Structures are given as structure tokens and as C-alpha cells.
Amino acid sequence: VIEVIVIGAGVIGSSVAYRLAQAGAQVTIFETHRVCGGTSATSFAWVNSNNKPPRAYHDLNVAGIRTHMALVEEFGSTPWWHNGGSIEWEADEDAWRAQREKVERLRTWGYAVEWISPRQLHDMEPDVELSVVGGAPIAYYPDEGWLDPVPYAHAMLEAAARFGATLHLGVRVVDVRVYGGRATGVQVEGGGIYGADVVVNCAGRWANDVIKTRELHIPLAPTVGILVCTPPMPTCLRRIVRTPYCDVRPDGGGRLMLHQREIDNTVRADVEPSLELPQAAELVRRAARILPNVGTDRPESVRIGVRPIPADGYSAVGPVPGISGYYVVITHSGVTLSPFLGHVAAEEIVKGRIVPQLEPFRPGRFFPSP
Ligand SMILES: Cc1cc2nc3c(=O)[nH]c(=O)nc-3n(C[C@H](O)[C@H](O)[C@H](O)COP(=O)(O)OP(=O)(O)OC[C@H]3O[C@@H](n4cnc5c(N)ncnc54)[C@H](O)[C@@H]3O)c2cc1C
């Protein structure tokens, strides 16, 4: 039996651990905080391949969406997965042109998208204030949805445990041990050493902190994001609605989650999340334009997260050159991609099958050939 250590229990590590254990590996997971104690708990968690060129990256994300959908058959019920699609309109003629081009491209690639009228928007989401849509074209992407990342990761880890996986919470990996060009296990804080045939690095934005050998680091270009959740609201919003003001989606119990990319650019990673941040009030003000019921309530919570993004923006999945027995899965859009990447990483690690779809995303692209 192949022994595998997985570092990190976010959406990626928990998905990888489940598929590894199911494929027959003896899996041990080390997580320094709690399940989804990192970026996965500070994610807008929109499951999509809405604007992810080139084609190979688009297809990878489509595989993520399909794998989320397929989990319903496997688990019977998937309360963490919210389908129903997303709705989008843009601000002005330049943005409308770009949106039209995007929709055409997505259609050519076979992605589900349709134009809807303001009347249809009203039928689907009666709480949305139609006057703010103006004359903007409205696009509807029926296959998209969003995820509750923490219940999802918990379900994957529960399923992994049924196949014998062991989860150690509150244990920080301080190094991946390398001997004779091979990863032999990990050292944890306090000095403990654990051996394994394969170590899988799923530590997200901390991926380079868990291995001291600098030559094995993956160049990262992280970005910061801010999310605001409202208190429970009298709204029946069901879908993700993406607008020039902000993006909004339900977040359970009547709460709404709000996000806006330009506002992200005004936040630094070391800022303490606080209800008093001007960005939080601004997001609520913007949301009230789209959903008047939001009113002027203070936010209920504010989250600040850092996206784990390999330097060229695309996923890094696979072995790292110069070392055997070491595999990384580091990516932005990890909520969308996690169930698919878990599946294919296990295929490669346990069954030794090379998954061609992963070839453009190999970590080797960051390392000069010898
Ligand atoms: C604001 C924002 C919005 C986003 N929106 C979306 C979206 O709409 N759709 C989408 O698909 N993606 C989105 N993302 C990206 C997505 O959330 C991430 O790609 C995903 O959560 C990464 O998951 P992960 O498991 O790799 O990382 P993490 O969730 O960070 O998991 C890594 C884990 O490793 C643990 N760890 C770290 N160091 C150690 C150590 N030394 N020893 C042991 N454990 C360790 C951490 O505690 C953590 O739990 C968003 C991200 C942000 C910040």
C-alpha cells in the first residue's frame, strides 16, 4: 500500500485526500489550523468557467463544474453545492462589447450561456431592482453555482476517513524531508518526523513555507480579496448576480455575500478584517442599489483572503522537477477545480496514469530545463 502525506486541509487537500484514500492509498493529512482554516474559508466560492481562457484552462474549470455536479450521484445529497446558475450585466458599451465577445467565445466552446430579458430576470430574481440594469444586455449561465467550502471539505474528509485516512489538526509541517533526490516524509513543529512514499503539498498560499529547499519553491503571485456578509435579509435571491456595483449571492440563513474586484485592489493582506472598514460599508451601499431590501444595515462579517496563484495565473499540478515522491496542487479557482483535481491527482499518484489534461499545468514550466 502506498503511503501518502497530504499537507493542508482546505478544499484542495481534502479533495485530494479523499480520492487518494478511495484509490487505496494510506493517507495522513496534516493541517496547522482547522479544516478550511486558510483561503477556502474566505472565498466567494463561485463555481464557474466564465472567463478563463485559454481553452485548456477553460476546459479544466468545466471539468471542475461537472465533477461538482457528479458528486450528487456519489453522495446522495450535496447540501454544500448550490446550482441554479449566475446572472451578469455590465456597466457601459465598452464592457457590453467585451461581454458579447466573451459570450460568443463561450458558445463556441460549448459552454451553457443565454441572453435573458429584464422580464426574465425579474421572474428569476424578483428582488433585483430592474431600474439599475438600464439597457444593459443580461447574460445567464445556467450551469454555474456556488459552494459552501467548509461543509464540502468536511464531507470529503469524512469520506476519506471511511477509507482509513487520518487527519491531524493543529499540526504544522515545517519541512518536506528530502533524501537522495526523493521526498521521504515531513517534519512537523516540535520535531516529529513522519515517513511517506509521496508527499502532496496542498498548503495553498503557504505552499513554499512547508519546504525549506528553495529550489523546489513554486513562484507565486498572490492577490488579496475582501468579502462582506450581511445580516439575514428579507430576500429570496437564489443565484449569483454579478453587476457593475458588486457581485452578490446568498450565504445561508438569508445572509448575502458581497464582493467587488476593484474594491479588492484597495485592501492589503495585513489589514485586520473589521466591520468598520470603509470598504465594508461601500460594498453594502452598492448591494443596496441592486437589492433595495439590503438598506443601510451594517455588515455582519468581513473576511479578507489571499488567493494562492502560481506566478503565471494558472494551476500548478504535478511533480516538481529534481525530486521524486513530491507532488503539488496549488491553484487559484480552487473551489471550482478541487473535486476534479482531487480525482486526477489520485489517478496519477496511486495508479501511475498520466492525465493529459494536466500537461499544460505542470510545475515544471517554472523550472529551467537542465
Ligand atoms: C476573496 C476570494 C475570492 C475567491 N473567489 C473564488 C471563486 O469565486 N471561485 C473559486 O473557484 N475560487 C475562488 N477563490 C480562490 C479559492 O478560494 C482558492 O483557490 C482555494 O480556496 C484554495 O484552496 P486550498 O485548499 O489550496 O488553500 P487553503 O484553503 O488555504 O488550504 C491550505 C491549508 O493548508 C494549511 N497549512 C498552511 N501551512 C501549513 C503547514 N505548514 N502545515 C500544515 N498545514 C498548513 C492552511 O491552514 C490551510 O487550511 C477566491 C479566493 C479569495 C481570497
The pair phi, psi for residue 14, each rounded to 5°, is: -70, -35
Determine contact, residues 8/204, Cβ cutoff 8 Å.
Answer: yes
pLDDT tens, residue by residue, 204-236: 999 999 999 999 999 999 999 999 999 999 999
- The per-residue pLDDT for range 240-255, each reduced to its tens digit, is 999 999 999 999 999 9
Peptide bond into 54 cis (omega under 30): yes
pLDDT tens digit sequence for 81-112: 999 999 999 999 999 999 999 999 999 999 99
At residue 370, does pLDDT exceed 70? Answer: no
**Who contacts 360 (Cβ-Cβ below 8 Å, separation ≥6)?**
56, 57, 314
**DSSP class of 297:** P
Residue of 307, 328, 330, 338 best suited for mutating to test ligand 1, as the one with most atoms within 8 Å of CB? 307
Q: Tell me, what's the pLDDT at 368?
A: 78
185 vs 196: CA distance, rounded Å: 5
| Whether the predicted pLDDT of 285 surpasses 90 | yes
Helix or strand (DSSP H, E) at 348: helix 334-351
Residue 337 cell numbers, joined: 477545480
pLDDT of 362 > 90? The answer is yes
330-348 residue pLDDT tens: 999 999 999 999 999 999 9
* Res 127 pLDDT > 90: yes
Atom of ligand 1 nearest to the CA of 332: 19
Average pLDDT estimate for 275-286 = 95
pLDDT of residue 178: 96
The response to whether residue 39 sits with its C-beta less than 6 Å from ligand 1 reads yes
Helix (H, G, I), strand (E, B) or coil at 209: helix
Q: Which mutation among 5, 34, 39, 210 tests ligand 1's pocket best, with the greatest number of atoms within 8 A of CB?
A: 39
**Over the Cα atoms of the chain, what is R_g?**
21
pLDDT value for 196:
98
